[in-house]
Amino acid sequence: MMRYLLDRLYLLCGLLAALSLVAICLLVLGQVVGRFVGVTIPSANEMAGYFVLSSTFLALAPTFMFGGHIRVKLVIERLPAPLQRFFEYTSLLLAIGLVGFAAWWCIELVRESLEFGDVSPGRLAIPLAIPQSAMVLGIGTLLIALLDCLVSLIRGQDLPYDRRSGLMEE
């Protein structure tokens, strides 16, 4: 059941990242068409930037779980099994520490934006907590994915990014 829920979470983040890319395309298309008819979309560049941020952060966990991030697997595979596990543990623990630190600061950023009522400088004055929340969701989900892999490693199971199954095959 937990595996099912986690896979759905990663899939949801991937879908939201894809929708952010679609939104960027629609904004650019709207701007191009709008130039021909003399209409502009207020704060389109700003919104496109926010969608770039959300697509980047929301895609982190699904990309990691599918094995899309750069790894030194070529080197690790040539090591003896106990040393491979040591490097997997070490890299996961370091990543959990770094991503956890980044997630904490992202949450602080959203909290401060809400506290001070920060809005974007454009004509639409978008509350900055909205795009920042996508960043928190993305990095938080990456932290969950790293912890998921650590638990799999502790249990002696195949790591999701090694078996390359699940998310993208469903």
pLDDT along the chain (170 residues), means of 10: 94 98 97 93 93 98 88 78 90 97 98 97 92 98 97 89 52
Q: Which residues pair with 119 in a beta bridge?
A: 127
- What integer pLDDT is reported at residue 79 of this predicted model? 86
Could you tell me the two tokens for 163?
């078996």
Rounded to whole angstroms, the Cα distance separating 121 from 46 reads 9
- What integer pLDDT is reported at residue 163 of this predicted model? 62
Question: Global pTM?
Answer: 0.89
- What integer pLDDT is reported at residue 69 of this predicted model? 77
Among the listed residues 140, 155, 150, 87, the one whose alpha carbon sits nearest the alpha carbon of residue 109: 140
Rounded to whole angstroms, the Cα distance separating 56 from 36 reads 31
Phi-psi label, residue 67: left if phi above 0, alpha if psi -120 to 50, beta otherwise: left
- What integer pLDDT is reported at residue 160 of this predicted model? 81
- In single-letter form, the type of residue at position 121 comes to P
